[in-house]
Chain A
Amino acid sequence: MNFDRRRYLERVKERESGSPVFKNCFFAYLFGGGICALGQLLLSLYLFWGLSERDAGTLVTVTLIFLSACLTGIGVFDSIARIAGAGTLVPVTGFANAVVSPALDNKSEGLVTGVGAKIFTVAGPVLLYATLSGALYGVILYVVRLFL
């Protein structure tokens, strides 16, 4: 067979006209903005109930994570995310789904060896790089302050 791998890969790439970018972006904006606006509503509510700014912020995160966990549990989150794309991925809802879905999925392999061992398979990188970059920032901050 006359097969030029490089030309073939170019052809494969050309054919990948790809995702409906405009539609995806529209829904990402709509859902992403909507989730943030919902967060804002929760924040106002918690502040109104007399929580401190910081506690209210944390509680907003916890509430959104709780909602995402429930939606993941009843099997709705993935259907919404198929439309919303980055709109549900990037808010903390996506982090929650990334933790809950492997936990749920690996339940059949045991509560320690399944749920426990697999719970961070998807969300692990986020936690790792958040911690790592935070620690790096801390060291730099400490060193800079030594000389100021």
Chain B
Amino acid sequence: MRKVIRFSDPVSIYARASAVGKTEYDGPLGALFDFHDGTDRFGADTWEKSEESLSLAVLNFALARAGESQDEIDLLFAGDLQNQCVASSSGCGTLGIPYCGLYGACSTSGEGLLLASLALAAAPSLSRAAVVTTSHNAAAERQFRLPLEYGGQRSPTAQWTATAGGAFLLCRSSEPFAPPSAPRIVACLPGRALDSGVTDGANMGAAMAPAAADTILRYFSLTGESPSDFDRIVTGDLGAEGSALLSELLRDNGLDLRGRHRDCGVLLFDPLKADVHAGGSGCGCSASVLSALFLPALERKELRRVLFLATGALMSPSCLLQGESIRGIAPLIVLESGKTGGDK
């Protein structure tokens, strides 16, 4: 139960897609995303529908890239931040692929990749699985915070829910159609819902950092590996605040990531150009950055081994007002580059 799950037949991410809204497109990674919508509306008239439309479009993009139709996908894991994950069920869920809705807050991308890998490893009758996660700033603000046009100042530790989505198509790497160069998920370690003690809804980074530290420390102590075995240790959306807290927590426990740590929430925005405070967040943040930045680097073999931890703050506005603290979660997957060119 508390073991690292290793896949004897690793799971290949054979196709991927990413999409973002305006602020994210204007950020430092803007040119890397597959498509964007400068109006953030993705052709819909309400923000909730915009996210549905984003969710559908990003999966369709991945399918088109793989040259496949939805009928070839056996199982879909998808999630977002809206109630009952409607952006997923009414978005990519409409393609008719058997669907499992996921709610792991901003960690949903990692949770989905982990569960899809487990499903493919456990059930030989499944050949292809898809993972889609999205978030939309306007839909999230409406659901969790204040009206869009409300004039308020955000706390310096607050993070910015990204308008972004990522889609991934997965199969066992032994399948004949699996491209040898595709990055692989070779192992995973589920996160634990860890009480951070943080009761400030505007400091999600602090709420998630202990969970991320917990998973990282468990992984290294269970495997005997060290950070130097990885080219990058990527967290989902701890932001500037959470990243600093993570490295302090790890140092307390005798672990130094030695400059290998990157955070998708920090990478997504340029703090000098966009006043996003501590960085980006949301289900789409880590999904889009993984899809647009780290997977291509693994495909090009600029990176060989990457530890990817999506991080989630499992926050309910009602429970927060009732004085409960926020639990964080950080599922981990180990990514390796594919096996072409005779290496490895």
Which residues 1-48 of A have a CB within 8 angstroms of B?
Answer: 1-3, 5-6, 8-9, 11-12, 15-19, 24
CB pair A11 B248 closer than 8 Å: yes
Assuming the contacts A2-B252, A5-B197, asked whether A105 and B245 have C-beta atoms less than 8 A apart, the reply is no
Smallest Cβ-Cβ distance to A105: which chain B residue: B147
Do residues A81 and B147 form an inter-chain contact, with CB atoms below 8 A? no
A122 to B149, alpha carbons, bound, how many Å? 12
| B interface SS class | loop
| Contact call B149/A16, Cβ cutoff below 8 A | no
CB of B259 within 8 Å of the partner chain:
no
With contacts A1-B253, A2-B252, A122-B146 taken as known, whether A77 is within 8 angstroms of B244 at the C-beta atoms is no
Which B251-278 residues sit within 8 Å CB-CB of chain A? 252-253, 275
Check if A122 sits within 8 Å of B147, measured CB to CB.
yes
- The smallest C-beta distance from A79 to any residue of chain B, in angstroms, reads 8
Q: Which one of B146, B147, B203, B217 lies within 8 Å of A12 (CB-CB)?
A: B203
Dominant secondary structure at the A interface: helix
In angstroms, Cα B153 to Cα A94, docked, is 12
Knowing A5-B195, A11-B248, A15-B245, say if A85 contacts B153 (CB, 8 Å): yes
Query: Do A72 and B210 have beta carbons less than 8 Å apart?
Result: no
| Number of residue pairs A-B, CB distance < 8 angstroms | 98
- Asked if A101 and B149 make an inter-chain contact with CB atoms under 8 angstroms apart, the answer reads yes
Most buried by A among B153, B197, B213: B153
Inter-chain contact A94/B248, CB cutoff 8 Å: no
Give 1 or 0 for each of A76-107: 1 = CB within 8 Å of chain B CB: 01101110110011000010011011101110
| Cβ contact of A122, chosen from B150, B195, B196, B218, cutoff 8 A | B150
Q: Is the CB of A105 within 8 A of B149?
A: yes
Known: A9-B198, A12-B206, A12-B245. A77 touches B149 (CB 8 A): yes
Pick the contact of A16 from B156, B197, B252 — CB < 8 Å? B156
Contact in complex: A8, B157 (CB < 8 Å): no
Report the Cα distance A85→B252, complex, angstroms: 38
Q: Which residue of B lies closest to A9 (CB)?
A: B197
CA–CA, A24 and B142, complex, Å: 26
Interface set of A (CB-CB < 8 Å, partner B): 1-3, 5-6, 8-9, 11-12, 15-19, 24, 72-73, 75, 77-78, 80-82, 84-85, 88-89, 94, 97-98, 100-102, 104-106, 108, 122
